[in-house]
């Protein structure tokens, strides 16, 4: 009898460079399954992406004579039921690194071993296993630069990506949920119009995006990655989060491109951003409380302000600071925000408004299509000053100067805040400084069609500095 292996898909929605799938295909018949358990309580934008990514995965498997089973429920229970239905003798999956996912994997392995079923998990979502990287003292790294330098010394262990495996055609169909039953897509209202215009989930689209980035944008990446009006970044983050493309594929393709073009500076800069993702997961593995507790325990007692009106203004892009508002409106419309602007809006929330970083992280979790528990938690804590290798408390992004530096002509602001589009460049990032005639000519009425600033930058900055200094000295 041909061996049968259940392959549990999770955050690895691809056929190429999928170790669990490769090794299962070598054994015999593959029975792929995706189980909707929503253990991480996904946000709306992530659910939208997951729906379309599963559609793409289903289609890819169907072309190869294999059918993806969709089931809803507790993972251990569903796998146990499926084992009885298909008489499989093994279950393979690729490891995930979020705390609840680790618990799920451990529970599944224990249950399978108790049933004498072969259970194997594989590395597929990271370049380096978090438990394999340690400093000279044998502890985990708490600063990115030495962490990444150490990782680079181990880069020969990364290896080459796997090709798509050859499958033994499935001879049997099993009960399968209809994807629509899971209600991952928004209905009334359907707010996903902007997502549909900009994004195409799936493995094929991920590789097209990578090729386009390497061929057309990598060379200028070190300079243009900070310009929000320019499509200078890779736009690979949601594909990477859902495993439509692997970090090893990104590494391999970038290194090959570097060897072919000699563009080492750009390649190293791009791969260091992949390194920040590795560092975020590394921190999350060693500090599972990272999404809910400050890495620096002293910050548990920081006197964050509670201000629902200010939070709402920030969420809706109505703070009166054009660069902040443009970023928040881009997020609301497209499920995405330029990385430079993410830092600026996060600094504004935690420093200008002194609101708890967890409120910002929760909003990003619900609205970002690349919402990633590790990146989201580590990055918000970095900006707030309470994380590992954190931005110093006195670093407060000035949204006016940041706009003048990285969006000097106001192209980004004009795109997302059309009510300010006719303002002269000199006032596009500080409309309150324009005289009445200039505002009237541009069709801007502050307090009506665009808000006055909800805080004064200088006053808010000084208040934040005082709060952090007092807290630091307590």
Q: Which of 273, 333, 411, 419 is catalytic?
A: 273
pLDDT score at 74 = 96
The per-residue pLDDT of the chain, averaged, comes to 95
Q: Which two tokens stand for residue 272?
A: 């260091």
Active site residue 304: yes
CATH 3.40.50.620 placement within the chain: 4-123
The CATH number given to 125-156+204-286 is 1.25.40.80
Q: What is the mean pLDDT of residues 158-170?
A: 90
pLDDT band at 172 (very low <50, low <70, confident <90, very high): confident
pTM: 0.96
CATH 1.10.579.10 placement within the chain: 297-473
- HEC string for the chain: CCCEEEEEECCCCCCCCCHHHHHHHHHCEEEEEEEECCCCCCCHHHHHHHHHHHHHHHHHHHHCCCCCEEEECCHHHHHHHHHHHHCCCEEEEECCCCHHHHHHHHHHHHHHHHCCCEEEEECCCCCCCHHHCCCCCCCCCCCHHHHHHHHHHCHHHCCCCCCCCCCECCCCCCCCCCHHHHCCCCCCCCCCHHHHHHCCCCHHHHHHHHHHHHHHCCCCHHHHCCCCCCCCCCCCHHHHHCCCCCHHHHHHHHHHHHHHHCCHHHHHHHHHHHHHHHHHHHHHHHCCCCCCCCCCHHHHHCCCECCHHHHHHHHHCCCCCHHHHHHHHHHHHHCCCCHHHHHHHHHHHHHHCCECHHHHHHHHHHHCCCCCHHHHHHHHHHHHCCCCCCCCCCCCCCHHHHHHHHCCCCHHHHHHCHHHCCCCHHHCCCHHHCCHHHHHHCCCCECCCECCCCCCHHHHHHHHHHHHHHHHHC
The CATH number given to 297-473 is 1.10.579.10
Q: Which of 118, 129, 182, 339 is catalytic?
A: 339
Q: Which of 380, 382, 398, 416 is catalytic?
A: 380
Percent of the chain past pLDDT 90, that is, above it, reads: 91
| pLDDT tens digits, 10-50 | 999 999 999 999 999 999 999 999 999 988 899 999 999 99
Taking the C-alpha atoms of residue 414 and residue 359, their distance in angstroms, rounded to an integer, is: 27
Q: Which of 182, 191, 304, 432 is catalytic?
A: 304
**For residue 474, is pLDDT > 60?**
no
pLDDT band at 2 (very low <50, low <70, confident <90, very high): confident
Which homologous superfamily is 4-123 in?
Answer: HUPs (3.40.50.620)
pLDDT band at 204 (very low <50, low <70, confident <90, very high): very high
Active site residue 339: yes
pLDDT score at 169 = 76
Active site residue 276: yes
| pLDDT tens digits, 364-385 | 999 999 999 999 999 999 999 9
Q: Which of 93, 276, 314, 382 is catalytic?
A: 276
pLDDT score at 309 = 98
CATH 1.25.40.80 placement within the chain: 125-156+204-286
Contact 12, 18 (CB under 8 A): yes
| pLDDT tens digits, 290-312 | 999 999 998 988 999 999 999 99
**For residue 343, is pLDDT > 60?**
yes
pLDDT score at 473 = 62
Q: Which of 357, 363, 382, 416 is catalytic?
A: 357
């Amino acid at each position: 009898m041909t061996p049968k292996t259940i392959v549990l898909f999770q955050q690895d929605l691809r056929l190429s460079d999928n170790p669990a799938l490769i090794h299962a295909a070598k054994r015999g018949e593959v029975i792929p399954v995706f189980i909707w358990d929503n253990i991480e309580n996904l946000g709306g934008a992530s659910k939208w992406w997951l729906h379309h990514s599963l559609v793409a995965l289903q289609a890819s498997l169907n072309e190869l004579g294999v059918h993806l089973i969709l089931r809803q429920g507790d993972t251990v229970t569903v796998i146990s039921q499926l084992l009885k239905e298909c008489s499989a003798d093994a279950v393979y999956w690729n490891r995930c690194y979020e705390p609840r996912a680790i618990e799920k994997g451990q529970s599944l392995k224990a249950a399978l071993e108790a049933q004498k079923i072969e259970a194997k998990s594989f590395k597929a979502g990271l370049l380096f296993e978090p438990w394999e990287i340690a400093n000279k003292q044998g502890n985990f790294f708490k600063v990115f630069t030495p962490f990444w330098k150490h990782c680079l010394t181990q880069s020969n262990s990364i290896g080459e990506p796997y090709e798509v495996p050859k499958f033994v055609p499935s001879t049997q169909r099993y009960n399968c949920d209809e994807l629509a039953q899971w209600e991952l897509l928004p209905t009334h209202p359907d707010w996903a119009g902007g997502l549909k215009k900009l994004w195409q989930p799936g493995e094929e689209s991920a590789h097209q995006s990578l090729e386009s980035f390497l061929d057309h944008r990598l060379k200028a990446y070190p300079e243009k990655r900070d310009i929000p009006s320019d499509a200078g970044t890779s736009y690979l983050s949601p594909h990477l989060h859902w495993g439509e493309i692997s970090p090893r594929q990104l590494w391999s393709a970038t290194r090959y491109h570097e060897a072919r073009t000699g563009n080492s500076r750009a390649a190293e800069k791009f791969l260091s951003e992949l390194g920040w993702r590795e560092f975020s997961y590394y921190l999350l593995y060693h500090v599972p409380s990272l999404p809910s507790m400050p890495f620096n325990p002293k910050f548990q007692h920081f006197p964050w302000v509670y201000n629902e009106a200010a939070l709402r203004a920030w969420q809706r892009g109505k703070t009166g600071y054009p660069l902040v508002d443009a970023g928040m409106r881009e997020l609301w419309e497209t499920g995405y925000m330029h990385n430079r602007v993410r830092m600026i809006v996060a600094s504004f929330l935690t420093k200008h408004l002194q609101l708890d970083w967890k409120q910002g992280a929760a909003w990003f979790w619900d609205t970002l299509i690349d919402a990633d528990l590790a990146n989201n938690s580590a990055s918000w804590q970095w900006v707030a000053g309470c994380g590992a290798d954190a931005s110093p408390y006195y670093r407060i992004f000035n949204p006016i100067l940041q706009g003048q530096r990285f969006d000097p002509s106001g192209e980004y602001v004009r795109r997302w805040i059309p009510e300010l589009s006719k303002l002269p460049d000199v006032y596009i990032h500080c409309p309150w400084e324009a005289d009445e005639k200039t505002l009237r000519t541009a069709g801007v009425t502050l307090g009506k069609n665009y808000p006055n600033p909800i805080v004064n930058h200088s006053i808010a900055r000084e208040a934040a500095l005082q709060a952090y200094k007092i807290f630091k000295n307590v």
